[in-house]
Structure 1
Amino acid sequence: MLLIGPPGAGKGTQATRLAEAFVVPAVSTGDIFRFNVKNETALGLQVKAFMDAGAYVPDTLTNAIVKDRLGESDAASGFLLDGYPRTTDQVAELDRLLDDEGTKLDAVVLITADTDEVVSRLLKRAEEQGRADDTADVIRHRLDVYAEQTAPLIDVYSARGLVITIDGLGAVDVVTDRILAALADRGLHATNTIEKAANPS
């Protein structure tokens, strides 16, 4: 399964909950990159400059880290990708990777959100978490980059009949329920009951 949506649309939150519901790992390239930056690994030093500028990490680095992660044992029975692929070149690389493994995507969940709401969410998150990569200017730039590079992926996956569009505004539990209901309509049923969010606001 793949989650697509603009920065701040709630992909990370929903990825965690869906991974729990389907008992598969949530693979977030953003989390992987931030972990490496924080721990000043070789990869972290390479990607830090791109992240600080609000730019995407080059495909070669991203493809390598995703391939390595999906090769781990916990992803053998399924996985949920959050933040990858982000370009049509990455789509082609993921296609090759899945073909090599003899598997395919079951669904692409597109989470939509109003731009002003997204900016508000990310500014609040930056304040709470002290994230240097979430200034107002960088947020606007990231949204522009998303529209230019990532939105075309929706067309690619729509042509394959994989896209499920979900309104990302509203309480966390409500959005989760929307996604689970839409996936169930596709014959993809959760195997685990997830707890309601502690703070549904």
Structure 2
Amino acid sequence: MLNLVLFGPPGAGKGTQSQKLIDKYQLVHISTGDLFRAHIKNQTDLGKQVSQLIADGELVPDSITIAMLEEEVDRNKTAKGFIFDGFPRTVPQAEELDRFLESKGAKVNGVIALDVNQEELTRRIAERHKLNGRPDDDAEKLKKRIGEYFDKTIHVLPYYEAQGKLAKVNGIGEIEIIFNSLCEVIDSF
């Protein structure tokens, strides 16, 4: 089983690259953001709990995020592996993911950080907001989400670096070139 964590701030290209990686490696993509949006759209109990948090650009509490992620992994028992996108965002979440996967006889094989500067992130998200109208992509919420990443989430990288599982890939350039770089890294795991 191949389990990957794809890291990067909002707009780094995680969703775009994840789809290509899913096709190549037959992995299940678990994006906590997508799961949250689906729960909100379907007005589930979870969706109602997290709706305001996401709308304000806040992080959802670990307990809710972890329970939702575990439910999604358990729903895909025959998966060849997973791409975790948007999770973990904190060291306690990373530790919990390790414990959960270990209980399934699995592990995080590798962590890939897409490196994209703030100017490019802002440009990409403004374009995405025009095309998709995602409420979490407006300028103020975006600034808060990017700030959350650089203030809090990025601190998870040393946790994986200490385990020898971290690789960084330049996330600026042509989609295919970035994808080929990702595949080289994944094949080395």
What is the TM-score when the length of structure 2 is the normalising length?
A: 0.94
Q: Contact (CA 8 Å) 1:110, 1:163: kept in 2 or not?
A: yes
Letter of the structure 2 residue corresponding to residue 99 of structure 1: E
In structure 2, the residue matched to 1:147 is 150
Give the 3 Å change call, closer, same or farther, for CA 74–176 of structure 1 in structure 2: farther
Letter of the structure 1 residue corresponding to residue 145 of structure 2: R
Q: Residues 57-136 of structure 1 correspond to what in structure 2 (within 5 A)?
A: 57-74=60-77, 76-136=79-139
**Distance (whole Å) between structure 1 residues aligned to residue 109 and residue 118 of structure 2:** 28
Q: CA deviation at 1:182?
A: 2.1
Gaps of 5+ in 1: 189-201
**Distance (whole Å) between structure 2 residues aligned to residue 76 and residue 182 of structure 1:** 21
Letter of the structure 2 residue corresponding to residue 10 of structure 1: G
Q: Is the partner of 2:135 in helix, strand or coil? A: coil
Letter of the structure 1 residue corresponding to residue 170 of structure 2: D
Q: Contact (CA 8 Å) 2:5, 2:85: kept in 1 or not?
A: yes
Gaps of 5+ in 2: none
**Distance (whole Å) between structure 2 residues aligned to residue 160 and residue 97 of structure 1:** 17
Q: Please, which of 165, 178, 182 is the counterpart of residue 179 of structure 1?
A: 182
**Distance (whole Å) between structure 2 residues aligned to residue 161 and residue 173 of structure 1:** 26
Q: Percent identity?
A: 34
Q: Please, which of 160, 170, 174 is the counterpart of residue 173 of structure 2?
A: 170
Aligned length: 186
In structure 2, the residue matched to 1:21 is 24
Letter of the structure 2 residue corresponding to residue 88 of structure 1: V
The two structures, once aligned, show a CA RMSD in angstroms of 1.2
In structure 2, the residue matched to 1:39 is 42
Q: CA deviation at 1:183?
A: 2.1
**Distance (whole Å) between structure 2 residues aligned to residue 159 and residue 51 of structure 1:** 31
Q: Is the partner of 2:46 in helix, strand or coil? A: helix
Q: Contact (CA 8 Å) 2:28, 2:79: kept in 1 or not?
A: no
Give the 3 Å change call, closer, same or farther, for CA 75–97 of structure 1 in structure 2: farther
What is the TM-score when the length of structure 1 is the normalising length?
A: 0.89
Q: Contact (CA 8 Å) 1:24, 1:74: kept in 2 or not?
A: no
**Distance (whole Å) between structure 2 residues aligned to residue 169 and residue 65 of structure 1:** 31
In structure 1, the residue matched to 2:57 is 54
Runs (4+) off by over 6 Å: none
